[in-house]
């Protein structure tokens, strides 16, 4: 076999001699990377400075201090947020304005508030507060978003997993769990460009989730639409209309939607949104009013003026895509070049969102991350896309290409690919890692 043809031969079918040679080559390549003194980061899905710069006009806003209704936004009141911004994002999220609350800068805070209210008081359709139940369990599609899992673990809510497919959570697995166990109170869904896989929940799967029988009368779908507008291609995915589907199925209070401008304008100074049935909105603001007198309506006003219209949001997101789409293309090009044909890795090719999900050879993800750290590239901890940080196959790695500069993204991905090749060779040859020699 020629060296050229061997480059694309699956490692598992190579001879012991060929594998040994491959291992030696990858160790040499890794040692060369270690000597470069790199300091790169692919951990968190943060906007790059160039993306934040797109919103700097916010710093000169608002013009005036009254909203369209003539309300002075500098003063107390308006728990539900200003009307024009609610209407704008209602249009974008396919709901009615009276179903939307515009809040502070963090949708994650809204999620925690909703869980707290359910725990202490129960929901619109609850028989009792969740905290009075003998056990509360939540369905978590995997791989998924680590902060969702952290929040549930903090509450002491038991997490059960189902597979996240290309078209959303496995509906059969979800339906089986929800139908037979009243302690199963809800499910997390990132419907559009899911974290980290980039999956898109189809209308058909959303309809199954909205209409399925549940043993818990107050079963909730936490619909975290964090990436609804974060397209990378011209083929813009449209989120399933979960609120209408649930209402038509006779479960209007089942879904609670969350979204924000955190990756649209300023990550630390945006606006978060909650959407649900009118009764859910009243329930949420009723509890919110016990500890708040109103959100930062000046910030909401500047956002309303900055965007101008729903189309203004869409146009703004196209400018984001111009910055980050080439970074995603770079990652995919390097993975294909460095790992293609070896049968030791597979990865998603998202059309939107902030992440690429990389599955390396089973049993090697933690080792790949360890090696990458030793070469100066920070990756999210192994298992972070699974509840309790436990990936049963030790194979999933979440890559976040948005924050680094383009050249850094390419270089960091090359390091990751080298580490994946080296870790796979170590496992397949049965040779123990060289420990401190490699990662010290």
**pLDDT > 70 fraction of the chain, expressed in percent and rounded:** 97
What is the SS3 assignment for 307-352?
Answer: HCCHHHHHHHHHHHHHHHHHHHHHHHHHHHHHHCCCCCEEECCCCE
Residue 431 is predicted with a pLDDT of 87
Q: What angle in degrees, to the nearest 10, is found between the helix axes of 297-307 and 83-93?
A: 60
Q: What is the mean pLDDT of residues 90-112?
A: 97
Residue 1 has pLDDT above 60, yes or no: no
Please, which residues have CB within 8 angstroms of residue 288's CB and are 6 or more apart in sequence?
79, 113
At 260, the pLDDT band (50, 70, 90 cuts) reads: very high
pLDDT of residue 430: 93
Contacts of 65 (CB under 8 A, 6+ apart): 72, 73, 74, 298, 301
Token duo for residue 105: 């800068």
Position 60 confidence tier, pLDDT thresholds 50, 70, 90: very high
Read off the pLDDT of each residue in 423-429 and give the average, rounded to a whole number: 97
Helix (H) or strand (E) holding 272, with range, is strand 272-275
Per-residue pLDDT, 4? 41
Q: Render pLDDT for 309-359 as a digit per residue (tens, 0 to 9).
A: 999 999 999 999 999 999 999 999 999 999 999 999 999 999 999 999 999
The percentage of the chain sitting over the pLDDT mark of 90, rounded to a whole number, equals: 95
Helices (H), 142-226: 146-155, 171-180, 203-211
């Amino acid at each position: 076999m020629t060296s050229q043809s061997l480059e694309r031969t699956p490692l598992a079918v190579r001879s012991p001699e060929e594998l040994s040679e491959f291992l030696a080559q990858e160790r040499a390549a890794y040692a060369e990377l270690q000597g470069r003194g790199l300091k790169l980061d692919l951990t968190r899905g943060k906007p790059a400075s160039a993306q934040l710069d797109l919103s700097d006009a916010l710093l000169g806003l608002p013009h005036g201090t009254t909203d369209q209704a003539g309300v002075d936004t500098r003063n107390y009141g308006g728990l539900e947020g200003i009307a024009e911004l609610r209407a704008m994002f209602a249009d974008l999220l396919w709901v009615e304005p009276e179903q939307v609350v515009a809040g502070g800068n963090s949708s994650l805070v809204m999620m925690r508030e909703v869980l707290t209210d359910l725990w202490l008081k129960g929901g619109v359709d609850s028989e009792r507060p969740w905290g009075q139940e003998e056990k509360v369990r939540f369905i978590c599609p995997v791989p998924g978003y680590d902060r969702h899992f952290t929040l549930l673990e903090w509450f002491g809510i038991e997490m059960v997993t189902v597979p996240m497919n290309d078209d959303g959570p496995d509906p059969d697995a979800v339906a089986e769990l929800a139908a037979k166990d009243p302690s199963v109170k809800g499910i997390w869904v990132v419907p559009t460009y899911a974290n980290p896989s980039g999956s898109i929940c189809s209308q058909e799967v959303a309809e199954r989730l909205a209409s399925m029988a549940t043993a818990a009368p107050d079963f909730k779908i936490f619909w975290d639409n964090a990436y609804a507008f974060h397209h990378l291609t011209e083929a813009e995915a449209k989120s399933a209309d979960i609120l209408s589907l649930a209402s038509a199925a006779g479960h209007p209070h089942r879904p609670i939607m969350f979204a924000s401008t955190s990756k649209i304008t300023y990550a630390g100074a945006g606006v978060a949104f909650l959407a649900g049935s009118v009764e859910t909105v009243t329930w949420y603001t009723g509890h919110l009013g016990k500890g708040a007198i109103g959100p930062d309506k000046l910030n909401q006003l500047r956002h309303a003026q900055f965007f101008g219209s729903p189309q203004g949001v869409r146009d703004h997101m196209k400018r984001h895509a111009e910055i980050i789409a080439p970074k995603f293309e770079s990652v995919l090009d390097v993975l294909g070049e460095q790992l293609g044909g070896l049968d030791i890795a597979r990865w998603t090719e998202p059309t939107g969102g902030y992440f690429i999900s990389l599955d390396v050879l089973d049993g090697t993800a933690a080792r790949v991350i360890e090696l990458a750290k030793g070469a100066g590239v920070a990756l999210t901890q192994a298992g972070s896309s699974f509840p309790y940080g436990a990936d049963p196959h030790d194979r999933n790695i979440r890559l976040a290409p948005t924050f680094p500069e383009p050249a850094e993204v390419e270089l960091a991905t090359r390091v990751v690919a080298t580490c994946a090749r080296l870790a796979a060779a170590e496992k397949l040859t049965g040779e123990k890692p060289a420990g401190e020699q490699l990662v010290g």
